[in-house]
Homo-oligomer: A and B are copies of this chain.
Amino acid sequence: MASVQDITVGAAVNVLSAVVFLVAFAILRLQPINDRVYFPKWYLKGIRGSPTRSGAFVSKFINLDCRTYIKFLNWMPAALRMPELELIDHAGLDSAVYIRIYLLGLKIFVPIAALAFGVLVPVNWTGKTLETIKDITFSNIDKLSISNVPPGSKRFWAHLVMAYVFTFWTCYILYKEYRIIANMRLRFLASENRRPDQFTVLVRNVPPDPDESVSEHVEHFFCVNHPDHYLTHQIVYNANKLAKLVEKKKSLQNWLIYYQNKYERKPDKKPTTKTGFWGLWGQKVDSIDYYTAEIEKLSKEEVAERERVISDPNAIVPAAFVSFKTRWGAAVCAQTQQSSNPTIWLTEWAPEPHAVYWNNLAIPYVALTIRRLLMAVGLFFLTFFFMIPIAFVQTLANIEGIEKVFPFLKPLIEMKVVKSFIQGFLPGIALKIFLIVLPTILMTMSKIEGFTSLSTLERRSAGKYHLFLLVIAFLGNIIAGTALQQLHTFLNQSPTEIPKTIGVSIPMKATFFITYIMVDGWAGIAAEIVRLVPLVMFHIKNTFLVKTDRDREQAMDPGSLNFYTSEPRIQLYFLLGLVYSVVTPILLPFIIVFFAFAFMVFRHQIINVYDQKYESGAAFWPDVHRRIIIGLIISQLLLLGLMSTKGAEQSTLVLIALPVLTVWFHRLCKGRFESVFVKYPLQDAMVKDTLERATEPHLNLKAYLQDAYIHPVFKGGELERPAAIDEEENNPLVATRRSSQRGSKYGSGENSDNGV
């Protein structure tokens, strides 16, 4: 059991590292040379120009204005200043809603913390159980927790009432937030510009026809079954090989540019390269000649493959993007069943053109169900085997464990500062390293499962990751930790007794989770804002590859929110907060600090850095809501388990209603709001159609949609951004409003910050 002193040292270490990160950020972001690392969003929007263009030579790279360094935290108010509507315009609804998750955390936990400190902490503190027991060590933190209340005490009524109050408050806030987000989404969809995906439906599993090609078959089917609405369709080519060739060519071109730059700088020495594996051995040749020839060769190959794909009927996959004359027609087709065999002619809303995951469009139905089964089994085994290393690391992170394994370290560890450091830092770090490996595996699994759009892939991966964090980071830590103390008891009792055991271990694990919050939630978030990896990568690229401004644009890596890794991590904080709100309220302030700090950091990142790859219109919110509900139910069940071991068995009857009511609340919300995120109501489609017909009666929609869904390799070999920006330019109304806002209000604020 860590003492208050351990916690204080941990807090100090983590606050210190957070401050170090923030100072580093403050200094780095003011250097003009890093401008593209810390403000890429504005460059992509075309609003910010390179600061290196004008001024003295040195000040192109380093900021010499000392005054700007003094106010090193003033990015925080700047991040908070942009109003939400403008934020949606600027960064998209996904991002704007994403940071509302942090706000939701504050809304839920600040009142809960106030109430818990007002009621539960005094009740616990005066419980005086731990003082009377001499043979177990306890710290002051435990005195504030439910452990300090004697078994069978009447004081537990306070905890029961508070459990109800907290649940009702959480549900109330959740309901309100769901309604707000649903309205935001509706407004967002209603105000959206014309986009190809509004008119388009993705049709999969087109059945083979002996007499017709896929294209003819699709056209005939929809001409017959949607006669008044069908407009056009685009077939999908299996261009995976072509995409690989394009990718390889791009890499070779990068090397060519690298050697050309090298040659320009040192014209006296022609650069050479070896033709063998990774340039490590083989014949030495002139680099520029070699890469030019290789690119030449690859270009020919690419042209041949391109022709093959277009002419070969086998390169056409049995899927198509079908476009309709109206949004109404598309909404109808996306929401209805086409054929009496529900495994063919599957229709769903088409993703945005650049959010299509092209590799998964051609998987037949049975293959899909088998893949899902295999991935479900795989997920189970992955979860299961990850438990072993975690438990092992947890053993080591224990002071006594380390002393046993490495007895020579004993004098060092016994030093008070080192001991506190290990106890306050190591368990969190060990867990963190494990968690970094996972998301990529999970995303691959989601891809194998056959989802067709990036947003679905991210949402599915998030679901898997959430399960993982639940099992590994939450349950794994609680059980593995206690397992070391109670392994024998554990093996000899029925496995179904575990829930009770978890409930009992909950208060004992409070200090561990406090350190975890500080490492992951405080220092980790502060590290996020420094963007170390993109910073290094940008400067490497900038030095070796960049010739033109366009190259520099491509060298920027704005990154994105990575919903599938970050959202489940937030959920862990919700879970911890809900579980400990009744048991050990002292944990709540740490969580509140995390939510507040993360809110500011991510708001800043969204405004200045991240460039989302797609816009799903906050389609992830039902998942967020559901997972908080899951956390709430887990917290209620664990409290039930804990209470039944505390000599308050009669409380079971009182507490059992809570999960029932929570499940009912979830169903209510689901029925009330979820369809806003899943379906597209015909009324809204009709309104937009009517409006468009009135304002643009002569719109040539067919021409607009003709090439919207073409595999990116056919667009000149580059993954171009879609027509969004062009469209904004075509639409004077929106563009004017936006640029004027930015120019007047925000752009100036930014400029003064940078001293440019």
Provide the bound-state CA to CA distance between A660 and B377, in Å.
9
**Contact partner of A336 among B331, B345, B673, CB < 8 A?**
B331
Question: Could you say which of A338, A342, A345 has the most chain B C-beta atoms within 10 Å of its C-beta?
Answer: A342
Asked if A630 is at the interface (CB within 8 A of a chain B CB), the reply is no
Expressed in whole angstroms, the minimum distance between the Cβ of A491 and any Cβ of chain B is 14
Interface residues as binary, A657-682 with B (CB distance below 8 Å gives 1, 0 otherwise): 00010001001100111111001111
Expressed in whole angstroms, the minimum distance between the Cβ of A378 and any Cβ of chain B is 12
Q: Is the CB of A679 within 8 A of B369?
A: no
Q: Is the CB of A667 within 8 A of B369?
A: yes
Asked if A132 is at the interface (CB within 8 A of a chain B CB), the reply is no
**For A673, what are the chain B residues with a Cβ–Cβ distance below 8 Å?**
342
Q: How large is the interface on A (under 10, 10 to 19, 20 to 34, 35 or more residues)?
A: 35 or more
Q: Is the CB of A683 within 8 A of B225?
A: yes
Q: Is the CB of A336 within 8 A of B340?
A: no
Q: Is the CB of B494 within 8 A of A671?
A: no
Provide the bound-state CA to CA distance between A494 and B645, in Å.
13
Asked if A365 is at the interface (CB within 8 A of a chain B CB), the reply is yes
A333-379 interface with B by 8 A CB criterion: 335-340, 342-343, 345, 365-366, 369, 372-373, 376-377
Q: Is the CB of B494 within 8 A of A340?
A: no
A217-240 interface with B by 8 A CB criterion: 221, 224-226, 228
Provide the bound-state CA to CA distance between A225 and B338, in Å.
21
Q: Is the CB of B682 within 8 A of A336?
A: yes
**For A681, what are the chain B residues with a Cβ–Cβ distance below 8 Å?**
336-340, 342
Asked if A186 is at the interface (CB within 8 A of a chain B CB), the reply is yes
A541-587 interface with B by 8 A CB criterion: none
Interface residues as binary, A173-205 with B (CB distance below 8 Å gives 1, 0 otherwise): 000000000000010000000000000000000
Q: Is the CB of A342 within 8 A of B496?
A: no
Asked if A264 is at the interface (CB within 8 A of a chain B CB), the reply is no
**Contact partner of A224 among B365, B373, B667, B686, CB < 8 A?**
B686
A671 touching B338 in the complex, CB below 8 Å, given contacts A225-B682, A494-B494, A664-B369: no
Provide the bound-state CA to CA distance between A672 and B205, in Å.
13
**For A365, what are the chain B residues with a Cβ–Cβ distance below 8 Å?**
671-672
**For A683, what are the chain B residues with a Cβ–Cβ distance below 8 Å?**
221, 224-225, 338-340, 345
Residue of B nearest to A331 (CB): B336
Q: Is the CB of A336 within 8 A of B337?
A: no
**For A671, what are the chain B residues with a Cβ–Cβ distance below 8 Å?**
342-343, 365, 369
Provide the bound-state CA to CA distance between A665 and B750, in Å.
58
Interface residues as binary, A230-260 with B (CB distance below 8 Å gives 1, 0 otherwise): 0000000000000000000000000000000
**For A221, what are the chain B residues with a Cβ–Cβ distance below 8 Å?**
683
Interface residues as binary, A449-475 with B (CB distance below 8 Å gives 1, 0 otherwise): 000000000000000000000000000
**Contact partner of A672 among B342, B497, B674, CB < 8 A?**
B342
Chain A residues at the B interface, C-beta cutoff of 8 Å: 186, 221, 224-226, 228, 331-332, 335-340, 342-343, 345, 365-366, 369, 372-373, 376-377, 494, 496-497, 660, 664, 667-668, 671-676, 679-684, 686
Question: Can you list 11 A-B pairs, Cβ within 8 angstroms, ordered by A?
Answer: A224-B686, A331-B336, A332-B332, A335-B335, A336-B336, A337-B682, A338-B683, A342-B673, A365-B672, A366-B668, A369-B671
A340-B676, A365-B672 given; 16 more Cβ-contact pairs under 8 Å: A224-B686, A332-B336, A335-B335, A335-B337, A337-B675, A337-B680, A340-B683, A342-B676, A342-B679, A369-B668, A369-B671, A372-B667, A373-B664, A494-B494, A494-B497, A496-B496
